[in-house]
Structures are given as structure tokens and as C-alpha cells.
Amino acid sequence: MSTAQSLGREQKKAISRRRILESAREIFFRDGFMAANLDHVAQSAGVAKGTLYRYFESKAELYVAVLAEDGEIFEHKLRETVVSSLSATDQIRTTSRFYFDHWTNNRHYFQIFWAIENQSIIGELPTEVLDQVVKLWESCLQVLADVIDQGVKTGELRECDPWEMANILWTMANGLLQIESSQARSRLLRRSLDGVFEDALSLFIRGISSN
């Protein structure tokens, strides 16, 4: 096989995979994981179902691949929030605010947590799929950890474990953001979720500030 033929074949594979991902994204976000039908995904992508399975071994793997890809886009946007001229506390607030606004405006992305945490329902996910998602989470957390570490070095923030503090803030934000997905929990809010998030963020910043 010539180099040109090989490249042409790889390009066709890339196009087929792209079509599958785009079709799956639309169907998963429209119907949810359980109701999504891979026959519909294949039909929408213009490929045979057997072709779909050559790229993704299961519906669960395809589901996480779609959301992980969206996560990579999110990571790029997250990194763009970091501005060298901002103080550590202002940077934490800016980056955290982006995270909150992004997820409240794109709530369907939170389905990735459902997929990862409900393997007893959807079946065990392949190790390489989980590794991909964990790597993404680690990359996003490292952005915030680096901001905190820099704040510690300049004396603006007290001595602490930057990775641990980033993880605490991330966990707090996720917990608050998921309140509205539960009717029972959302009824416990006495003010807007936005206001509660701002209060929680202020408490966190006050806790690690050296002042």
C-alpha cells in the first residue's frame, strides 16, 4: 500500500470516527445514556453498526469518549482564564467563576459524572477510558493547584498543600452545582445557587488567605 493510500485510509477512519462522535453527542444529550440507541447513532453517522463497534467497544465507551472530548475543550477554556497580572485570590475567584458559569450553562456535560459513578448500572468501563477521564480531571485541577502554589510562594496565601486545596474547592463546587439536579436538595436553598456559590467561594478564599 502506498503512502498516499495509507494516508487516505487514515483520513477516512478519522472522518468516520468524527461522524460517530458528533452523532452520539446529539443522541446521548437528547435521550440520555440509558435510552440512547446505537442503531440510531450509526444511522445518523452514516456508518454500519459494525463500523461503529470497530471504534468503540460499547455504548459506555462511546458515551465517555464524547464527554471526554468536550472536557478537553473545557480544559483549554479553563487555562485561558489564568492571567499573570491577577492576584492569587482574584485568580481563584475568576477561574472558579468560569467553572460555575460553564457548568450552569452546559448542564448536560455533568452526565460524565453519572457515567463514571454508575458502572453498576451501565457496566464496567474499560480501564483506558477511565484513565482518559481521570487524566482530564487531573489536568484541570492542576491549573488551579498551580495558581494556589504561586499564591503560597508570594505570601498571599498561607502554607498549604495546593493540590489538596484545589481538590477541596473542586469538590465543593461540584457538590453545589449538583444541588439543582435534585428536587429535594434544591428546595433546601434559601437563596439563589449563584449567591450560595459566591458565599462558599469567599469562605474558601478567606480560609487560605494569609491576611
Task: Give tens-digit pLDDT for 187-202.
Answer: 888 888 999 999 999 9
* Helix then strand then coil, % of the chain, to nearest 5: 80, 0, 20
Q: Which residue has the higher pLDDT, 125 or 170?
A: 170
**Mean pLDDT in the chain?**
86
Helices (H), 46-87: 49-55, 59-80
- What integer pLDDT is reported at residue 170 of this predicted model? 93
HEC assignment per residue over 90-153: HHHHHHHHHHHHHHHHCHHHHHHHHHHHCHHHHCCCCHHHHHHHHHHHHHHHHHHHHHHHHHHH
- What integer pLDDT is reported at residue 99 of this predicted model? 92
Q: Using alpha carbons, select from 91, 35, 38 the residue that is nearest to residue 62.
A: 38
In angstroms, the CA 57 to CA 178 distance is 30
What is the per-residue pLDDT across 38-94, written as a single tens digit (0 to 9) for each? 999 999 999 998 989 999 988 888 887 887 777 778 889 999 999 999 999 999 999
In angstroms, the CA 97 to CA 173 distance is 10
Same fold? 1-56, 59-208: no
Contact present, 51 and 93 (Cβ < 8 Å): no
- What integer pLDDT is reported at residue 95 of this predicted model? 96
Residue 120: pLDDT over 80: no
Note the CATH number of domain 59-208: 1.10.357.10
What residue spans define the domains of the chain? 1-56, 59-208
What is the per-residue pLDDT across 89-116, written as a single tens digit (0 to 9) for each? 999 999 999 999 988 887 766 666 666 6
What is the per-residue pLDDT across 12-33, written as a single tens digit (0 to 9) for each? 888 889 999 999 988 987 887 7
With vertex at residue 106, the alpha carbon angle to CA 103 and CA 108, rounded to the nearest 5 degrees, is: 105
Note the CATH number of domain 1-56: 1.10.10.60
